[in-house]
Amino acid sequence: EDKVVQSPLSLVVHEGDTVTLNCSYEVTNFRSLLWYKQEKKAPTFLFMLTSSGIEKKSGRLSSILDKKELFSILNITATQTGDSAIYLCAGLPYNAGNNRKLIWGLGTSLAVNP
């Protein structure tokens, strides 16, 4: 059965710290891995990773995929209180019907204290 496992489940850090969030996956016919940030309402898209070893970067956030070891990490440097959120990871398999169903992890709840 396909699954995505995120760790840690929750994390508390101080402003300015660097954090690394982990996501391992077992997805049949794997296509891509996606990261989302969820604050109080809807998840917002951060990154889609398809190729191994190519870092994607957006400001203080970066992510990389290892397709050999089947995991991805999301790094946040110089954390700010506005980074407090649940970070969700999801695997996207190829699907003959193009339904594009994502396999979701449970998320990592990050709290950044001032």
Give dist(CA 13, CA 78) in Å, integer. 11
Stretch that binds another protein, among 21-29, 39-47, 57-65, 68-76 (CB under 8 A): 39-47
- Which residues does 55 contact at the CB level (< 8 Å), separation at least 6? 62, 63, 64
> Nearest approach, Cβ of 53 to another protein (angstroms)?
17
- Minimum Å gap between C-beta 7 and another protein is 14
List, in order, residues 6 or more apart from 54 with CB less than 8 Å away: 64, 65
50 binds another protein (CB under 8 A): yes
Binding test (CB under 8 A) with another protein, winner from 20, 101, 111, 113: 101
Query: Tokens in use for 22?
Result: 């982990």
- Among 104, 43, 114, smallest CA distance to 79 is for 114
**Based on CB atoms, which residue is closest to another protein, 64 or 88?**
88
Residues that bind another protein (CB under 8 A): 31-32, 34, 36, 38, 41-45, 48, 50, 86, 88, 90, 92, 97-102, 104, 106-107, 109
